Amino acid sequence: MDNKFKSFFPNTRVYMLIIAILILLILFLGHLYVGIACILMFGYLVFYNLRNNRLRKDEWKRFIEDVSENLDVAGRNTLSKIPMPLVIVNSEGQILWGNSLFTSIASKDIYSKNINVLIKDFNLNKILEKKIDVFEKVALDKKIFNILVSPIEINSNKQDTKYIVILYFVDKTDYYTISEMYSDKKTVVALVECDNYDEVVKSTEEQNRPALIAEIDKRINAFASSLEGFIRKYDDNKYIIVFENRYLSQLIERKFDILDAIREIDIGNKMPVTLSIGIGKNADTFYNVHQYAVAAKDLALGRGGDQAVIKDGDRLSFYGGKSKEVEKKTRVKARVIAHAISELIDQSSEVIIMGHDTPDIDSIGAAIGMYRGCRQRGKNAYIFLNKPDSSAERLVDLFVKSKDHQGIFVNKENAFSKITKNPLLVLVDVHRKSFVECKEMLDRINNIIIIDHHRKSVDFIDNATISYIEPYASSASELVTEILQYLIEKPKLLDIETQALMAGIYVDTKNFTFKTGVRTFEAAGFLKRLGADLIEVRKLFADDFETYQERAKLISSAKIKNGIAVVIQGNPVKNSIIIPQAADELLKINGIEASFVMASLGNEIMISGRSLGDINVQLILESMGGGGHMTIAGAKLTDVTINEAEKMLYNAIDNYLKESDKK
């Protein structure tokens, strides 16, 4: 306060000092009487000045106090008369005061209680750090409020700063009511397709077919009626349903029980009926809502069917997908795809064939098959390869040493130099942008063909000219083998090439035991007729003694719970092939329905999942960024420790068991 007064009142010290010096000068010059008179007048002047300053200070202090008191009264009146509920809390969240509007929506004995009684998750620290300035959608007294927060510092002690927080309750009941009504009334489009309609009908005796078809229609129509929507059947196995958004939450709560209801149909059909449902919502136009539904249904079909996919803008949600993929007996699609691929090859200047990052035997085998198909159509073809998986190194070495395959493999620098005016990129055993071996290649080449057997993932390559993704197939090598039969009139493959394709089928079917259908054996028979030697194929998978011992150690460390075996290997493994091999071996133990093997490999953590069919390992590992099939899946983690990865895996397993009610 004194400092403020010094700046407001004139500083008389200088003047008084000058007068004192003049009096001393008079006395020094010998004017004694004049000096005494001056001293008396100077004393009176000092007294007058001190008295006058004191009076001015007292008057200024009274003025400041009056202003402060008036401001306090005005502030209190303003707070009490603000036309919205208002409450003041201290640093601990204790309610200090509230206006009459606040007490009308809260109980009268709320004082001295904590604000958490009214507002859940009230966090004062976040408010003071300015991370939160409003609490939205707080329900009180049958109304909905947005609560604005205003922290005020009440002392300047840096070591123990005290605050009060003013909370303003803004009534947003009408806004949220209208917003909810608008959201509930939004149009949702669902496209429903019977995945295996032709196969189911053909597998049913002729006298039961009308009843089967009628039962499918009846259940899907009942499903539409439960949504109070309208339904139109626009093909033998395709329906469109339009309904309001408010019913979608009910479908999610029921976990799309229509999938189970359709699967339970038993009217002489030898295989279960399954549906793929694509749902679009929250688009800016009706046309875009329908396009969302189309994209969602395509994704559901690409993931093997028997599931529902919801596309809400860029966000995708998946439900179902827990049954095995059904093999399509007809080869019509393979023949059509092969014809389209042949036209693209003929129109291209050269072909670059690429698999997934660190390609395995199936990826290399499929690439070799496409290489031979392109060469027989008279086009230069190259296989992009940086570093193969350790399991495929022996196969790659065979082609590197082969005189007939010199220059077949190219790295990043060589591949770009091969590209001229109109290249074609063929992706085998991969359809995800994040999994390809060279992402730059996707940007450099416009014409892209995808041949893959994995269930379709969210980050799929959406600009492919031809996308041939068939989750029912055992391997990419099987798909390529089928395509070769229609790509060339009389295909001729070298023995080493047939063995590469056979090895791809052999490794992904685990010696023709997993995901093996009629078409798998037909593809293997075709390769056998062209000269594939299974003994030579088996030699590609022979292990050394050290690898065998390391795999045995992994298996012996397994922990088993709920029929699921889990192996966590903290120390880095020398050979990545032992991780999936250990997962395969664990399934041979009685009582184990699924297995997961996790181990460090360099700076990455690899996870292999295997199942006998009851547990969908693809859904479990997909939640960790991986993918695959219902019985065979994998994931690769980076920037996490082995302990963090272990927690992620167990959480994914627990969530799956909880949702599946298998715990």
| Cα–Cα distance for residue pair 442/451, rounded to 1 Å | 15
Position 5 scores a pLDDT of 40
Q: In Å, how far from its chain's centre is CA 278?
A: 19
Q: Which of 354, 402, 349 is nearest to 377 (CA)?
A: 349
pLDDT digits (tens, 9 = 90+) for 246-279: 999 888 888 888 998 998 888 888 888 889 999 9
User: What number of other Cβ atoms are within 10 A of residue 624's Cβ?
Assistant: 19
- What is the model's pLDDT at position 79? 63
Q: Which residue, 299, 184, 197, is CA-closest to 248?
A: 184
Q: What pLDDT, on the 0 to 100 scale, is given for residue 7?
A: 43
pLDDT tens by residue, 617-658: 888 888 888 877 778 888 888 888 888 899 999 999 988 888
Under 8 Å between Cβ of 382 and 415: yes
Q: What is the pLDDT of residue 480?
A: 94
Q: What is the pLDDT of residues 23-56, one digit of tens each?
A: 788 777 777 777 788 888 878 788 878 887 778 7
Could you list the beta-strand ranges (E) of 53-157. 86-90, 95-98, 134-140, 143-153
Count of beta carbons in the 10 Å neighbourhood of residue 553? 14
Could you tell me the strand order of the sheet in which 163-171 lies? 95-98, 86-90, 163-171, 143-153, 134-140
Q: Tens digits of per-residue pLDDT, 407-425? A: 899 988 788 888 878 899 9
Q: Which of 633, 509, 491, 645 is nearest to 568 (CA)?
A: 645
What does pLDDT average to over the chain? 83
Q: What one-character DSSP code corresponds to residue 155?
A: -
> Bridge partners of 467?
450
pLDDT at 139: 81
Whether this prediction's pTM lies above 0.85 is answered by no
Which run of H or of E encompasses 317?
strand 315-320
* DSSP secondary structure of 514-525: SS--HHHHHHHH
Question: What pLDDT does 342 receive?
Answer: 92
Residue 375 has phi, psi (to 5 degrees) of: -65, -40
Lookup: tokens for 400: 């590197």
For residue 292, the model assigns a pLDDT of 93
Q: What is the pLDDT of residue 128?
A: 65
DSSP-assigned letter for residue 217: H
Tell me how far CA of residue 198 lies from CA of 203, 272, 326, 327, 518, in angstroms: 9, 12, 12, 12, 17
Positions of the chain with pLDDT under 70: 1-12, 60-81, 107-109, 111-112, 121-132, 155-161, 321-330, 661-663
Helix axis angle, 545-556 relative to 578-586, nearest 10°?
50
Is the Cβ–Cβ distance between 595 and 634 less than 8 Å?
no
What is the sign of the dihedral through the CA atoms of 393, 622, 614 and 480? Answer: negative
Q: Residue 647: name the closest of 587, 608, 598 by CA.
A: 598
The Cα–Cα gap between 400 and 253 comes to 56
Amino acid 114: pLDDT? 77
How far apart are alpha carbons 203 and 91 in whole angstroms? 73
